[in-house]
Structure 1
Amino acid sequence: MDDQADADRSTAPVDPERVGQAETGHRARRTFAIISHPDAGKTTLTEKLLLAGGAIEMAGAVRSKGDGRRAKSDWMDIEKSRGISVTSSVMTFEKNGITFNLLDTPGHSDFSEDTYRTLTAVDSAIMVIDAAKGIETQTRKLFEICRLRDIPIVTFVNKIDREGRDPFELLDEIEEMLALSVAPVVWPVGQGGQFKGCYDLASNDFLAAGRTRDVTHTEGLDDPALAALIPADIHAPFRDAASLASEGYADFDPVAYRQGHLTPVIFGSALQNFAVDRLLDLIAAHAPSPRPQPSDKGPIDPDGDRVSGFVFKVQANMDPKHRDRVAFVRFCSGHFKRGMKLDHVRSGKALAVSNPIYFFAQERARTEEAFAGDVIGIPNHGTLRVGDTLSEGESFRFTGLPAFAPEVLRRVRLEDSMKLKQLRRALDDLAEEGLVQVFRPSIGSTWIVGVVGPLQLDVLASRIAAEYKADVTFEPVTSSVARWIRSDSESALAAFIKENITHVARDRDERPVFLCRDDWDLRFTMERNKDIIFDATREIVGQ
């Protein structure tokens, strides 16, 4: 977004209807992710945002036990059974002229690679913090990824209706641990058993708890009308705390927020649907519209006339009845229309996009057009892969999608040898998704799979059984460390592979991978082979 557009968005109370009327095309897009530690309430917040946006009529509670109605964004059987998100999902909805593309990400650290790739496709993020726990490990890791990509963040302090930590303590923790200025926007009126609602410090609206959910506009914290709505023993400490919060922390500055220097903070409750509408209104009014995306030819401006986009995710079997494969494409420039032919840069061939779809978790609908910032699905039979670039007559490649060396290695054991074909298809499909990395040893006929954490193995076995009708188990291997290997000298690389052939495998793209016993073994090998580069990460670029 240009400087003038930044300046045009004021710090006045949000009027979401005026925002939608003032912006069209890609400037009316808000593409954002939600990041959090597991159990902070991310999936519940996702559903309540959909409710606030009018995308669903009734939100269902996310439960860890029982047969309660599951969240809209959790659609796999294993997600429904465990009450966790293990894959990214996309939900597109509109409100007051703004198109929201909400990318829900796995909170569990075992699925961090999927989350990292999803964060390459968003322009802003909501960071969910449990009011009782503060900033947790996974939240901090994901925040650092956002910081590296200059992704602005709105903070939602969740579960304020339960007993938790002091709000000032939480604000100070954000400032100290994340080196980020905070600007309280919505403040709690009471907490835990004394929770009476929330107060919007910008609009001076009091959002009352209770069945009626009355919203009362006041003239400020000292308005007698506000005091009449809150019990005296709660009103006085609330007024003092809210005044101190307004004076002791930074004012909300939309430009500083979009530059990543400041986070507006909203205290609320996703489960009770408190302040969620204020969160969505803030995203509509102040979150950035599509930003320039990095490529090997320089940043691609969203104002550009020619259509371009990149594949950040591939999902197999979203509809098990049709064995489909859908590529998730984030558009970065231009005005896409159904039926357009786009250049598939990796293959050099033209791709006719005749059946593009919008997502609502597992549900889908065909779309006629898309702008920069939009995420669409393109059904295909393996043509599109993560990292691929689509463009309208230009040859460049988007950059910045990461791949990480796995931390857990296991050998795949097929229970029924007659299902070998199904297993091969399953591993190929699920590796393409990024759920697992598959290695074929230079010597031997078995597959080795690599994952970030053990929960991925559970999901892998569950999906192979459910979607490909093959039962597998995983056995330990002598190796625990994997590194991609390369060298500026082809002869040096060939000699290393020949000398270490029993420890070299190939990934699905035929890149050589060195498998070793442990970190000590890796360091020893690196010391003896200065000409070889051992990569723990690599960039996925369609080529």
Structure 2
Amino acid sequence: MGIYSEEIERRRTFAIISHPDAGKTTLTEKLLLFGGAIHVAGAVKSNKIKKTATSDWMEIEKQRGISVATSVMAFDYNEHKINILDTPGHQDFAEDTFRTLTAVDSVIIVIDAAKGVEAQTRKLMEVCRMRKTPVIVFINKMDRDGKDPFDLLDEIEEELHIHVRPLSWPIDMGQRFKGVYNIFERKLNLYTPSKQYVTENVEIRDINSTELDGHIGEPLAEKLRSDIELIEGVYPVFEVETYLKGDIAPVFFGSALNNFGVKELLDCFIRIAPSPRPVQALERVVDPEENTFSGFVFKIHANMDPNHRSCIAFVKICSGRFERNANYKHVRFNKMMRFSSPTAFMAQKKETVDEAFAGDIIGLPDTGNFKIGDSLTEGEDLHFKGLPSFSPEMFKYIENADPMKSKQLNKGIEQLMDEGVAQLFVNQFNGRKIIGTVGQLQFEVIQYRLLHEYGAQCKWEPISLYKACWIESENKEMLANFKKRKSQYMALDREGRDVYLADSPYVLTMAQNDFPDIRFHFTSEF
């Protein structure tokens, strides 16, 4: 046991992931409500209160109603310290979400009862499976008509390749939605649509008692009994170990908008979800219980505060205790640094913190010292892995639309690229800057933010490219020959590495065949 065991044990760090519109931001807001971190619910959709959801604070997010940046929120609940990372559901920002998943110990997946499992959710689940991250499923919007709960469970098993086990069960749905029976705690939660208050709970130890009929009527009580019997017959008994291994996903039903089923999810979550887990570094496995501090940067965000031109590096603490003003080693620079104003987040409200423990996420003001994947330690050389940049699939030339503002434009591009929103390549043939992204929406976000945060105007020009590949080879002669032949398509990334911009799948395959000694990589980590 380490000296900080108690602090580490009480932490739960998780991400909420879902398809856009499944109700992720609403769920986050309701969880914050239980933690007393915000005091008015429904502040998202209500026009009377011109407040937007605490987690969507970037201007463009408010206009579009989507989260494009991962926000971090922390609150205390029942002796536990909970860190939530709200991730963008929009697929153009999948890369941001993939990186966020490297910083959490477990995940809650939100699924819309009417739409079921959608493509984006599948992709994210693959990442969870790869990392063996434990998953809890919350089936949302039960107050609207949706698919049959058993069909939904089958669909989740089939589409996400994970075994499920319902820990709560809905009683009807849509207009006729009566509530859920909490299998985990053997309680009946009756539903009254209200966005502010938590609904009444009736303890029913034995669902075969006639007491149940009094609450929901005989026909529904009968259906519930046979459903539960079926569940007990079909699904294995829930065991926390299997969930922690990532082999089974507990399922809860509710309506985040009406604050129903959320508390049950949270109560079960703090009981079964893992506290911070060991993290694999290139050198060794880092245990959260170790006494020395270590952590890595998994995200960089420019302009959290529009009044200050600063970036914030989000650091996930992997072990030990972080102290304000202590000296820590920036491994890539090989130099010691001190941080006088580390912050913890409650969405937009930042507070300076004096200490933080494994599992926590802190923000360090950054003036260009950090890149995604950087490690901080008390002196040991550790490199945390698994934070790749993917090969972009959309490309445009970025041009300056206002010659007077070229300095602002360059600074803006540099800071936004540090965030990992997109990648910058400089064409070696004509020196033009090319921005590569994984989705169309990112071009809009970049243009919008350059204008509103840096006062710089950019314009996009089309360029037809298929993929960016990082290339390397021990065969110097072949490499030089390749670069000469493909000179119009050679670029450098921000690290100064060679990148080949292939203009079609055919040309890429030909190049791979013609130059057997050259390795083509599709992520920046190799």
**Superposition TM-score tier, normalisation by shorter sequence:** over 0.9
User: Which moves more between the two structures, 219-228 or 277-286?
Assistant: 219-228
Contact 1:201 1:246 in 2 (8 A): no
- Match status 1:352 vs 2:334: no
1:336 to 322, 328, 331: 322
Q: How do residues 62-461 of structure 1 correspond to structure 2 at under 5 angstroms?
A: 62-63=44-45, 69-210=51-192, 213-461=199-447
Aligned-pair RMSD on alpha carbons?
1.9
Q: Which secondary structure does the structure 2 equivalent of 1:537 belong to? A: coil
Equivalences, count: 521
Q: Which secondary structure does the structure 2 equivalent of 1:485 belong to? A: strand
Q: Shift of residue 62 of structure 1?
A: 4.0
After superposition, give the CA deviation of every residue in 1:185-208 in whole Å (9 maximum; x if it has no partner): 111111111101111112121111
Q: Shift of residue 174 of structure 1?
A: 1.7
Q: Shift of residue 63 of structure 1?
A: 4.4
Q: Within 1, Cα distance between the matches of 2:137 and 2:296?
A: 28
- The TM-score, its normalising length taken from structure 2, stands at 0.96
Q: Within 2, Cα distance between the matches of 1:379 and 1:449?
A: 26
1:514 to 500, 510, 514: 500
When residues 500 and 148 of structure 1 are mapped into structure 2, their CA distance, relative to the original with a 3 A threshold, is same
- The code of the aligned residue for 1:391 comes to T
Aligned counterpart, 2:27: 45
Q: Which secondary structure does the structure 2 equivalent of 1:383 belong to? A: coil
User: Which moves more between the two structures, 58-67 or 308-317?
Assistant: 58-67
Q: How do residues 463-502 of structure 1 correspond to structure 2 at under 5 angstroms?
A: 463-502=449-488
User: Which moves more between the two structures, 180-189 or 448-457?
Assistant: 180-189
Identity %: 46
- The TM-score, its normalising length taken from structure 1, stands at 0.93
Contact 2:394 2:465 in 1 (8 A): no
Contact 2:43 2:49 in 1 (8 A): no
Q: Within 2, Cα distance between the matches of 1:152 and 1:320?
A: 36
Q: Within 2, Cα distance between the matches of 1:220 and 1:124?
A: 32
Q: Within 1, Cα distance between the matches of 2:502 and 2:165?
A: 48
Q: Which secondary structure does the structure 1 equivalent of 2:246 belong to? A: coil
- Match status 1:530 vs 2:516: yes
Q: Within 1, Cα distance between the matches of 2:64 and 2:209?
A: 47
Contact 1:387 1:401 in 2 (8 A): yes
Q: Shift of residue 465 of structure 1?
A: 0.9
After superposition, give the CA deviation of every residue in 1:145-178 in whole Å (9 maximum; x if it has no partner): 0100110000001111110000001111122222
Q: Within 2, Cα distance between the matches of 1:120 and 1:423?
A: 31
Q: Within 1, Cα distance between the matches of 2:454 and 2:269?
A: 41
Q: Within 1, Cα distance between the matches of 2:302 and 2:229?
A: 52
Contact 1:295 1:398 in 2 (8 A): yes
Q: Within 1, Cα distance between the matches of 2:286 and 2:524?
A: 22
Q: Shift of residue 240 of structure 1?
A: 1.9
Q: Within 1, Cα distance between the matches of 2:238 and 2:50?
A: 39
User: Which moves more between the two structures, 498-507 or 35-44?
Assistant: 498-507
After superposition, give the CA deviation of every residue in 1:422-445 in whole Å (9 maximum; x if it has no partner): 111111001000111111111224
Q: Within 1, Cα distance between the matches of 2:249 and 2:474?
A: 44
Q: Within 2, Cα distance between the matches of 1:520 and 1:68?
A: 53
Aligned counterpart, 1:6: none
After superposition, give the CA deviation of every residue in 1:358-405 in whole Å (9 maximum; x if it has no partner): 012222101111111100001021111111000112112111111101
